[in-house]
Structure 1
Amino acid sequence: MSCGIVVALPEELSTLTKRKFAPGECHAIGGGVLLSYSGAGPANAEKAAAGLIDRGANRLISWGCAAALAQDRRPGDLVVPERVLTQDRHSLATDPSWRQRLANLLADYQAVGSGTLLESGRIVGQREEKRQLFEQTGAVALDMESAAVGRTAANAQLPFLVVRAIADPAEMSLPEAVVHALDADGQVQLARLLAFLLAHPWQLGGLIRLGIHFRAAQTSLKTAARFINEITRI
């Protein structure tokens, strides 16, 4: 009996363990928890979730950062959604008792928001597109992996939970430098980033703001991770 956690990025992985993983690797981190570093995107997340089930996980968590679609969600806000809305607008429910357990554990440390999380197959970086998606769906935030984890859990008739911290707010467009520097796994390639900044130095301010927001998201995830052994038991 164990809980499997899917994380897409190394910065998200670091909120749960100091151990270094290669993309695609899965390791036990104690307390009956299996942690899989999937890489970005739905296909990678689905493969990681299936691998966790093959290794004996009987419940799944999608863990990491998200982009805000609702204006009232700020960097560092924790979102534990009631449902995940897929790209084809199918709704996947998270486990209600598990959500409540997490909220109770964090009550004295971190506010826990709810609502709907939207799936995207790509990075949504422009504030206008975020606004349109919010108007179309009412979803409070968006990520690329949680729906894939939810579909895999549903197919195996297992409970799942989503724990996401807001990185970029709804009114912020991602700096073009970041989008330019991302590779297929959603990781920033430093050489690409530096080359772009040399040609577009005015992008530096946006990168600094995004870095501050991302650290706020990491801090919230680390707060939740202090209770990971309690969170993963249902």
Structure 2
Amino acid sequence: MIAVFFALSQEAAALKSHVNILKKIRYSHATFYQAEFCGFPITLVQSGVGKNVSEIIHHLSKYFKIQLMVSSGFAGSVNPRIGVGDLVIGKHVLHSLREVTEEEICIDATLPCDASAVELAVKLGSTDSLKLHCGDILSIDKIIQHSSLKKHIGNQTSAIAVDMESFAIAERANAMGIPFVVVRAISDGVDEDMEICENMVTKGGRVKISATARYLFNKPHRIPYLNRLRRQTRQATNALSAFFPNFITQIYNSLLA
């Protein structure tokens, strides 16, 4: 079975519309959608934002034999060549134990993505109308809010994009001996600030209406920014939605071969 991990409900929507959901399971703050796609079993995991996913994977593995873990959803670009709506496929996932600042960035750990899954993703992406990039992903514990820091990350590391969940998933997959790959879409460009807060999203990955309303009440000049972000996340969702059906089919064909 393939398990695809998303932090946010909006990210999970990229695949939910393509699959037949058989069962919805809640565990802690996470939601598992047990489903099938063209007769193939698949589980969508809405895990919430950040690195606290290890226990969720442990629970999931009690009930399902996982053959591939996919970290998906949105990512921020740290490379001027990579724009909103582009797909990024991870070669390696990088992680820093220290807070990332505009000083020297120390990479404390690096985990590889499954080479065959990466190769297949790149091959499929090159035949679609999607713009796809393959490179390293830096996974950190906080939202990168300032474009200057994104540019610094791009200049100081091999990363082409940043997210908040992939290393925790990769670390658990590596410990369990399960192949792993990152497939994400860019929701914010390298030249754009991300002026949102983690407390605007629930642990389960849903938008907090009250917190967002308070934010806009106190900072009404940010309304155009949030409208732009909503358009850009829709572009990212559409890119993932276009890519995944063929990828899932081809992955299962290779697993069964």
TM-score (norm 1): 0.90
Alignment of 1:66-85 (within 5 A): 66-85=75-94
Partners of 2:201 and 2:7 in 1: CA distance: 13
Aligned to 1:182: 200
Separation in 1, partners of 2:160, 2:239: 17
Question: Unpaired runs of 5+ in structure 2?
Answer: 98-106
The answer to whether structure 1 residue 59 and structure 2 residue 68 are counterparts is: yes
Which residue is equivalent to 2:32? 26
CA-CA distance at 1:208 after TM superposition: 1.5
Shift, 1:46, TM fit: 2.2
Question: In the alignment, which residue of structure 2 is the partner of 1:143?
Answer: 163
Alignment correspondent of 1:170: 190
In structure 1, what is the equivalent of residue 123 of structure 2?
A: 104
Deviation, 1:168, is 0.7
- Matching of residues 80-99 of structure 1 within 5 Å: 80-88=89-97, 89=107, 90-99=109-118
Shift of 1:61: 0.7
Q: CA deviation at 1:112?
A: 2.1
Written as runs of structure 1 = structure 2, the 5 A alignment for 1:141-220 is 141-175=161-195, 178-179=196-197, 182-183=200-201, 185=203, 187-220=206-239
* Residue 228 of structure 1, CA deviation: 4.5
Residue of structure 1 equivalent to 2:4: 5
1:27 maps to a residue whose letter is Y
One-letter identity of the residue aligned with 1:38: S
Equivalent residues, number: 230
SS in 1 for 2:44: strand
Partners of 1:4 and 1:52 within 8 A in 2 = no
Instruction: Give the % identical residues.
Output: 24
The aligned residue for residue 40 of structure 1 is 49
> CA, structure 1 residues 231+161, in 2 after alignment: closer, same or farther (shift >3 Å)?
farther
- Aligned partner letter, 1:112: L
Task: Give deviations 1:179-210, integer Å, cap 9, x for gaps.
Answer: 27524525431222222222322111111211
Deviations 1:202-221, CA, capped at 9 Å, x for gaps: 11111121112111101101
**Contact 1:6-1:48 at 8 Å conserved across structures:** no
**RMSD value over aligned CA atoms?**
2.0
Q: Is the 8 A contact 2:146 2:194 kept in 1?
A: yes
Query: CA separation of 1:187/1:134 partners in 2, compared to 1, >3 Å: closer, same or farther?
Result: farther
| Equivalent residue number for residue 103 of structure 2 | none
Contact 1:36–1:52 (CA under 8 A) maintained in structure 2:
no
Greater alpha carbon shift after TM alignment, 215-224 vs 49-58: 49-58
Counterpart amino acid of residue 91 in structure 2: E
Sort the Cα spacing of 1:106 and 1:183 in 2 relative to 1 into closer, same or farther, 3 A. closer
CA distance in structure 2 between the aligned counterparts of 1:60 and 1:52, rounded to whole angstroms: 11
- TM-score by structure 2 length? 0.82
CA contact (8 A) 1:21 1:37 kept: no
- 1:18-70 CA distance string (max 9 Å, x none): 46775412232111212211111111x22333333332112211111101111
Instruction: Structure 1: give runs of 5+ residues left out of the alignment.
Output: none
CA distance in 2, matches of 1:191, 1:121: 24
